[in-house]
Structure 1
Amino acid sequence: MPIDVMFSEISPEPVAAASLGQVYQARLRSTGEVVAVKVQRPGVQSAISLDILILRYLSGLIKKAGKLNTDLQAVVDEWASSLFREMDYKQEARNGVKFRQLYGSIQDVVVPEMNLALTTRKVLIMQWLEGQKLAGVKDLYLVEVGVYCSFNQLLEYGFYHADPHPGNLLRTYDGKLAYLDFGMMGEFKQEYRDGFIEACLHLVNRDYSALAKDFVTLGLIPPTSDKAAVTEALTGVFRDAVAKGVRNVSFGDLLGDLGFTMYKFKFQIPSYFSLVIRSLAVLEGIAIGINPEYKVLGSTYPWIARKVLTDSSPKLKASLRALLYKDGQFRIDRLESLLSESLRAKTERTLIENQNGGTDSKVVIKQILSFTLDDKGAFVREILLEEFSKGMVALGVATLDSVTNAVATSLPFSPSRPSSMTDEDITNLRNLQRLLLLISGLQENENPSMVNGVRTSNKQMISLNGAPVALQQFEAVQEYLPLLSVLPELPQEMQQQLLRLPADFAGKLASRVAARTLKRVFL
């Protein structure tokens, strides 16, 4: 179709330069809509083909000379494949349509509409967007929006923008984040998405043995590698970085620290990995340009924590259970950490610039209850009910001990009766108290009259040698239970779920009481 038939006007000179072409502003004659017209440079395909041929030859020589374990030619092939797809503007338009369908509804994200009917392999026509480059306006809020959008791209749907450089991220004049240029996209398979999430979990929780296994899953090291040696090396690399806390871990620094270890153990670089790493590194680079202290992993981890707590994937459920239990013992500190981090994951409508602001306890209660009563929180809800039932059994034993001892001490010449509480009971009782404090939106030591969860009058640590002392832990908890007045504010479906909990809890409690009774009778 002739240009003057398609457009009523078009800029005489390019208004922007794309990686493989030039962009003009035009107005469609049929609708009057202002559009961007990207035209591919003549001869670019043949020139790039020659460059790739040379790169592929050189990568083979480098691998052979350096005795590298990574298939460099496969990495070049992956990049080349992505580049050739980028030269097909009809494919780019289809990518843009898919990207808009998946992520265009995210709060403050704008994805231009593609004109599929008028687009050809070498001419792309799409909606015209105006704004400024994100890196030039220092809008940290939109960086957070980008982090959330990237989380969805990489870990929810696996279809991600593999070229999010500053020129492809725009701050529109109405304050929204616009994505441009959909030629270079990547697909992140489900098995790799799960492996990446597990690796982040194990890294944050300093489980370097499990992290070594994750690297096998991700294809970074072969299954035949010496896992013990790799674990020791990863411990040395990551220990100091992770000790600062997840919010202070730099993604770029982690990659840099890992470099020598990767060479020593002949790490493989899977073809998909380079695009994923590039995408994350570019995003952190843009953020650091705005705030030198920004850490993309620290901003992404809350979403990872929430996904682990809510995902229906059997693999992630198994990972969560393995994370929360060790040798049958419930590690409540890890659940507290995951829940605390997940609450930092702002929803689309509540993304805010300051991630470090305080939160009212009542709001926290509502967030935790909403999370655990939602359908997505079913797996965590089962774990909580199980641990609550353990704690209530222990509380019953402690109460019985307390009453029995009180009666015994009132009788003359009554022998002292040893406590029926086991170490496991005391642990379960402590866990029950911490769970109650957790759903009350409080930290264990927030109350000034509490020391390690036990009310004291002289700031001294009280040892849990008997049931009466164990029961003292619950005096302070009662002060916070009125905060559960938020229940009427919950959505109707969550209130209905709450009404079903007593029956579920009673069943688990009865089962535990019966098991304990049988154990005492027959063992």
Structure 2
Amino acid sequence: MNYTQLESSSSLHYDPQVIASQYRFRPWQVIWRSLAVIWLFGNFILHLFWDKWTNREEINQPKRARELRQILTKLGPTYIKVGQALSTRPDLIRKDFLDELIKLQDQLPPFDNQIAFNIIESELGRSIDEVYHKFSPNPIAAASLGQVYKAVLHTGEDVAVKVQRPNLRPKLSLDLYLMRILAGWIEPWLPLNLGHDLTLIVDEFGTKLFEEIDYLNEARNAEKFALNFDGDPEVKVPVIYNQYSGNRILTLEWIDGIKLTDLDKLAAAGLDADNLIRIGVTSGLRQLLEYGFFHADPHPGNLFATLDGRMAYIDFGMMDQLNESMKETIASAVVQLINRDYQGLAEDFVNLGFLTPDTNIQPIIPALEKVLGNALGASVGDFNFRTITDEFSELMYEYPFRLPAKFALIIRSLITQEGLALSLNPNFKIVEVSYPYVSQRLLTGESPQLRRRLLDVLIQDGKFQWSRLENMIAIASSDDSFDLLPTARLGLQYLLSEEGKYLRQQLLIALTEGDRLHTDEVQRLWSLIQDDIKPKKILDLAFNTFRQISVDSVAAIVPSATSSR
């Protein structure tokens, strides 16, 4: 059976058992591909050693960088994806290699135009002239999974037409099959649980890769993503033309933009790199913590700055969905980490699946404090995902941590976004954007689950943590777009509700703890918010809040206060 036959017989969905059954009785294909991978990387490693032995490392660095890019390109889409991920990490990859790997984002060799045109007409069941008024004779970009043409519809809209590379599914299947075998071989040799569920991580990657090569699935993802960011003035999502799309072709709105790594063009267009970083990080956090539907492949080839300063996403093949509980636990874990609450962090790790429920977390807490405390440094401004992942990997050798398959994509997304931000600003600290956002999310507490997370942060060992509330308000207010009044209204509504009974009790206890009124704490809080809350605004806030709450709810404060004394 050749590639064409495999392409037609392959499922649109990743199934490792089906793939294994296809290649189990075709050992020559498996052996030939394995030999090709070993030969290419083996030669590359020998060349590196030879450069070292002959003291020509520095001279040959550009040559070896080109060689690595050519190897990844020759090995095809799966390995190009690895190179694309590495190309976003200027803190991991030295500059000469980075410059070459960046070319894997959109400077790959195209495939034959006639094959592309045949795919378009086969998918749409019409000739190109019937569908498009104008169509570029050659692709304007080539990526790992396809290439892009610029066209004009008969109705006048400028569009981009993505066409998938031929015989893609069987090529990916064979690489994933070999990766799965390799994962099974090396799992037993990895320390403790470092290799736990390594095959599941390969399967998660395979599932997302197969979703990425289903362009109708990408169209659905784009429309869902656009709905989430509908009305957002800082994020641009292209319109999808479903009537001109299929499993292997996608027609979408043409976006005029600038690559985020092209600093000269960004500066010439008058675009602020730091503002683009803020948009990228904030939109990434919103995807994870608000919508739970996130872009798992945000490398520079998929993100552009529009001329009016917006961030444009143009590729929606690799996406994933988080449930409500996971979203809220992630938000909680970030706050626990910044607050250095390692007991709470360990409990969140259990809830997220990094530790099994039967794990005794007590011996792990001091280790978390030692390792992650070093990663955080003297201040939260030193926090970055690269440091955290490096330091956290030490714990994997000594304690029964494991990496849930879904988190492989989340971590990749976060690290890729941070790497992109670092390429725009080497001094970028992700906490300067992310923690104000997380604090705002918890302070506004739109859902009961988030309000419970806020209580977990503010109340520890039965005591109200004034310093944490001050810290959260101060950091949230560092974002100029944060409006304290709506947050205060939500907080007052919550305090006067039945759900807020416990917090009312804790506040009253905290205010009168130790047989004294804690006026100093209240004064510090007031100094934080007094510039944002004027007398008239306070009256309006109180009136509107009390108008929305029933008499019974207000009366509930009195027994709460009485019972707390």
* TM-score between the two structures when normalised by the length of structure 2: 0.69
Q: Aligned residue for 2:351?
A: 217
Change (3 A) 1:202 1:93: same
User: Which digits, 9 at most, give the CA deviation of each residue in 1:450-473, with x for residues without a partner?
Assistant: xxxxxxxxxxxxxxxxxxxxxxxx
Q: Is the 8 A contact 2:135 2:150 kept in 1?
A: yes
Q: Aligned residue for 1:373?
A: 489
1:241 CA drift (Å):
3.3
Q: Is the 8 A contact 2:241 2:252 kept in 1?
A: yes
Q: Aligned residue for 2:399?
A: 265
Q: Is the 8 A contact 2:159 2:253 kept in 1?
A: yes
- CA distance in 1 between counterparts of 2:244 and 2:278 reads 35
Q: Is the 8 A contact 2:216 2:246 kept in 1?
A: yes
Q: Aligned residue for 2:217?
A: 91
1:326 CA drift (Å):
3.2
Question: SS where residue 154 of structure 1 aligns?
Answer: helix
Change (3 A) 1:240 1:66: closer
Overall identity of the aligned pairs, in %: 35
- CA distance in 1 between counterparts of 2:446 and 2:529 reads 23
2:428 maps to a residue whose letter is Y
1:132 CA drift (Å):
1.1
Larger displacement relative to structure 2 (201-210 or 428-437): 428-437
Q: Aligned residue for 1:485?
A: 535
1:110 CA drift (Å):
0.6
Question: SS where residue 117 of structure 1 aligns?
Answer: helix
Q: 1:44-193 alignment to 2 at 5 Å?
A: 44-66=168-190, 69=193, 70-137=196-263, 139-193=273-327
Larger displacement relative to structure 2 (66-75 or 311-320): 311-320
- CA distance in 2 between counterparts of 1:226 and 1:391 reads 32
Question: SS where residue 244 of structure 2 aligns?
Answer: coil
Q: Is the 8 A contact 1:17 1:23 kept in 2?
A: yes
1:249 CA drift (Å):
0.8
1:90 CA drift (Å):
0.9
Question: SS where residue 181 of structure 1 aligns?
Answer: coil
Q: Is the 8 A contact 2:284 2:294 kept in 1?
A: yes
Question: SS where residue 255 of structure 2 aligns?
Answer: coil
Q: 1:435-514 alignment to 2 at 5 Å?
A: 435-441=525-531, 484-487=534-537, 495-497=543-545, 511=559
Q: Aligned residue for 1:455?
A: none
Change (3 A) 1:379 1:218: farther
- CA distance in 1 between counterparts of 2:551 and 2:509 reads 16
1:485 maps to a residue whose letter is P
- CA distance in 2 between counterparts of 1:387 and 1:502 reads 22
Question: SS where residue 163 of structure 2 aligns?
Answer: strand
Change (3 A) 1:45 1:173: same
Pick from 147, 167, 171: which aligns with 1:43? 167
1:484 maps to a residue whose letter is K
2:216 maps to a residue whose letter is K
Change (3 A) 1:128 1:116: same
1:497 maps to a residue whose letter is T
Question: SS where residue 171 of structure 1 aligns?
Answer: strand
1:340 CA drift (Å):
1.5
Q: Find the structure with the greater CA-based Rg.
A: 1
Change (3 A) 1:376 1:278: farther
1:49 maps to a residue whose letter is S
The alignment yields a C-alpha RMSD, in angstroms, of: 3.0
1:386 CA drift (Å):
5.6
1:7 is the counterpart of 2:132: yes
1:25 is the counterpart of 2:150: yes
- Equivalent residues, number: 427
1:320 CA drift (Å):
2.1
Pick from 210, 229, 232: which aligns with 2:363? 229
1:67 CA drift (Å):
5.5
User: Which digits, 9 at most, give the CA deviation of each residue in 1:304-358, with x for residues without a partner?
Assistant: 11111222444433332232223433221111111122223454xx8xxxxxxxx
Q: Is the 8 A contact 1:75 1:274 kept in 2?
A: yes
Q: Aligned residue for 2:32?
A: none
1:203 CA drift (Å):
0.7
- CA distance in 2 between counterparts of 1:176 and 1:232 reads 44
Q: 1:355-394 alignment to 2 at 5 Å?
A: 367-374=483-490, 378-379=494-495
* TM-score between the two structures when normalised by the length of structure 1: 0.75
- CA distance in 2 between counterparts of 1:182 and 1:252 reads 25
Question: SS where residue 534 of structure 2 aligns?
Answer: helix
User: Which digits, 9 at most, give the CA deviation of each residue in 1:425-454, with x for residues without a partner?
Assistant: 325343343344444249xxxxxxxxxxxx
- CA distance in 2 between counterparts of 1:497 and 1:92 reads 44
- CA distance in 2 between counterparts of 1:380 and 1:512 reads 10
- CA distance in 2 between counterparts of 1:427 and 1:292 reads 47
- CA distance in 2 between counterparts of 1:302 and 1:377 reads 22
Change (3 A) 1:9 1:513: closer
Q: Aligned residue for 2:463?
A: 329
Q: Is the 8 A contact 1:310 1:376 kept in 2?
A: no
Larger displacement relative to structure 2 (326-335 or 173-182): 326-335
Larger displacement relative to structure 2 (300-309 or 76-85): 300-309
Q: Is the 8 A contact 1:93 1:114 kept in 2?
A: yes
Change (3 A) 1:75 1:512: closer
1:434 maps to a residue whose letter is R
Structure 1 portions without partners, runs of 5+: 351-366, 395-422, 443-482
1:92 CA drift (Å):
0.7
Q: Aligned residue for 1:430?
A: 520
- CA distance in 2 between counterparts of 1:500 and 1:388 reads 22
1:499 CA drift (Å):
6.9
Q: Is the 8 A contact 1:311 1:376 kept in 2?
A: no
- CA distance in 1 between counterparts of 2:248 and 2:558 reads 70
2:443 maps to a residue whose letter is L
- CA distance in 1 between counterparts of 2:509 and 2:350 reads 37
- CA distance in 1 between counterparts of 2:556 and 2:527 reads 21
1:147 CA drift (Å):
1.4
Structure 2 portions without partners, runs of 5+: 1-125, 267-272
Q: Is the 8 A contact 1:389 1:509 kept in 2?
A: no
Q: Aligned residue for 1:407?
A: none
Change (3 A) 1:13 1:374: same
Question: SS where residue 140 of structure 1 aligns?
Answer: helix
Change (3 A) 1:315 1:505: closer
2:228 maps to a residue whose letter is L
User: Which digits, 9 at most, give the CA deviation of each residue in 1:228-265, with x for residues without a partner?
Assistant: 22111111111133353323311111111111112221
Change (3 A) 1:510 1:378: closer
Could you say which structure has the greater relative contact order, defined with CA pairs below 8 angstroms and 6 or more residues apart? 2
1:98 CA drift (Å):
0.9
1:205 CA drift (Å):
1.1
2:314 maps to a residue whose letter is L
Change (3 A) 1:20 1:287: same
Q: Is the 8 A contact 2:380 2:431 kept in 1?
A: yes
Q: Aligned residue for 2:53?
A: none
Change (3 A) 1:510 1:5: closer
User: Which digits, 9 at most, give the CA deviation of each residue in 1:136-168, with x for residues without a partner?
Assistant: 236221121111211211001111111100111
Pick from 426, 430, 434: which aligns with 1:300? 434
